[in-house]
Amino acid sequence: MMSEANYPQWLRYFRLIVQTGNGQEALDLSNFRCKFHITQAIVGKPCTAEITVYNVSTETIDRIQAPVNAVVKHKHMKVIIEAGYQESHSLIFQGDLWWKSTGRESETDTYMRLIAATGDRAHQYAVCNASLPKGSTQADVYDAVVTSMKPYGVSSPKKPDFMEGRLLRGKVIFKMAADAMQGVADTNAFEWGYGTEGVTTIRKDMTYKKTEDVVVLTANTGLVGRPTVTVDGVEAQCLLQPRIDVGSLVLIDNNSIQGGDYDTAVDADLMSQQAATGGFISGDGLYRVLSREHVGDTRGNEWYTKMVCAGVNAAQTPMNPTVLNNIPNL
C-alpha cells in the first residue's frame, strides 16, 4: 500500500521522556533544546541513541541517577523519544539509559549527554537454555530464543518466514541468545537486529509482500537531494520520517538516483560486483531499508532521516561492513 506525506512537514513535534533514578517517576525534557542521533542497522547489534539536552538544572540532572561520566549498570532507566510533525508523529526510540555525562559548550550553554540502547542488555547477557522435542519447527526454535530475551525487554512482534520441515531429533540449545539467533537467521536466510519494537528481520532474498506499507519518497514528500549509489547500497536522505525504520519499503524514482564515485579504498571485487554494475538498483524503484538514522535539533536546522537501501529485486544485497562504522559497541 503506497502512502505519501500529506501533512505539513514544518510543524515539528518532539517528546523526550527519561525515567528517574527511583524507577517510579519520569522527567519530560521536551521543552529543552535537544539534539538526537538515533542509529539502527540490520547487523545483529543494538539500536543506539545519543541525546544532548541543553541548560538543564543541576537538580534535574541529579534526578537521573547515575554518576557523571559513568555507565548506568543497575537501574536500566528507560529513555523514550517521539518525533515527527504535529499531525503525524510516533515513537522513534525506546531503550535503556547506559551513560550520562555533563559539560559546557560555551560561556552560556551547558549540556547533559545521554547514551541509550535498545536490546543491548539482551545482546550481552541473555542466555538461551532450551530443549526442543523431535518434530519442532524452525518457528519453535525462534520462539525459544526470543523467550530467553524477553526478561531483558526484547520481544518479536513480527516474525520472519521460516523454512519448512521439522526437527528429525530433539535439539538442545545452551548458548548466548544472540549467537542462537544468528544460527536461526543463517538457517532461515534472514538478517536480524534490535529495533524499537524488538527483534527486526529482513530476508536475504529481499522478497516482499504486496500488503506491506510503502513510503513514497519524492521532492514533494520530503526527499532531500538526490539518492546516490555507494558500495553500501543506495543512500538517501529525507525530512525526518518516523515511519521509516529498518525493514521498511520506500519507493524512489530511479531517474533521481545518481551513481557514486569509484572508491580506491574498497576491494576491487566488491566494486566490480556492486557499484560498477549498479547491483543495488531496483527495476521498479522499490527499496528495502537496511540501515537508518534519525538526526534532529529541536532549535536548529537538522531534522532528517538518512537511510541505506537495496532494491527488493536487485542483483546484490549489501554486506559491506563499512555500513557498521557508526554503530558503537556498548
Q: Are 168 and 220 in the same domain?
A: no
Do 106 and 162 share a domain, yes or no?
A: no
Domain stop point among 177, 202, 227: 202
Distances (CA, A) of 227 to 9, 29, 160, 314: 20, 34, 29, 16
What whole-number distance in Å separates Cα of residue 14 and Cα of residue 91?
10
Mean pLDDT of 296-308: 95
% of the chain with per-residue pLDDT over 70? 81
Please tell me whether residues 223 and 177 are part of one structural domain.
no
Residues 135 and 219 reside in one and the same domain:
no
Is 330 among the domain residues? no
Q: CATH no. for residue 185?
A: 3.55.50
Residues 297 and 267 reside in one and the same domain: yes
In a domain, 141, yes or no: yes
More confident residue, 278 or 38: 38
Give residue 241's pLDDT: 94
In this predicted structure, what is the pLDDT of residue 46?
86
CA distance 93 to 216: 22
Give the pLDDT confidence score for residue 68 in this predicted structure: 45
User: Of 170, 202, 234, which closes a domain?
Assistant: 202
Residue 77 domain-assigned (yes or no): yes
Q: Are residues 163 and 98 in the same domain?
A: no
Scan for cell 528429525, then name that residue: 168
Of the residues 118, 133, 153, which one is the last residue of a structural domain? 118
Same domain, 186 and 218: no
Asked if 77 contacts 9 with a C-beta cutoff of 8 angstroms, the reply is no
Examine the domain organization and report whether 32 and 111 are in the same domain: yes
Residue 150 in 3-state DSSP?
Answer: helix
Residue 1 counted as domain residue: no
pLDDT tens digit string along 159-213? 888 999 899 999 999 999 999 999 999 999 988 989 888 898 888 876 677 777 8
Mean pLDDT within 216-232: 91
What is the rounded CA–CA span in Å between residue 167 and residue 139? Answer: 11
* Widest distance between CA atoms in the chain: 69
User: Is 329 part of a structural domain of the chain?
Assistant: no
Count the domains in the chain: 3
Least confident piece of the model among 33-47, 67-81, 91-105: 67-81
Residue 213: what pLDDT?
85
Residue type present at position 185: A
Tell me what the pLDDT averaged over the chain comes to. 83
Do 259 and 304 belong together in one domain?
A: yes
Domain assignment present for residue 266? The answer is yes
Query: Is 208 domain-assigned?
Result: no
Residue 3 maps to a domain? no
Q: What is the mean pLDDT of residues 258-279?
A: 58
Q: Show the domain range for 18.
A: 8-118
- Same-domain pairing of 104 and 156: no
CA–CA dist 306, 236 (Å, integer): 6
User: Are 165 and 68 found together in one domain?
Assistant: no
Q: What is the pLDDT of residue 116?
A: 92
Q: Do 193 and 281 reside in the same domain of the chain?
A: no
Is the predicted pLDDT of residue 78 greater than 60, yes or no? yes
* pLDDT, mean of residues 85-90: 90
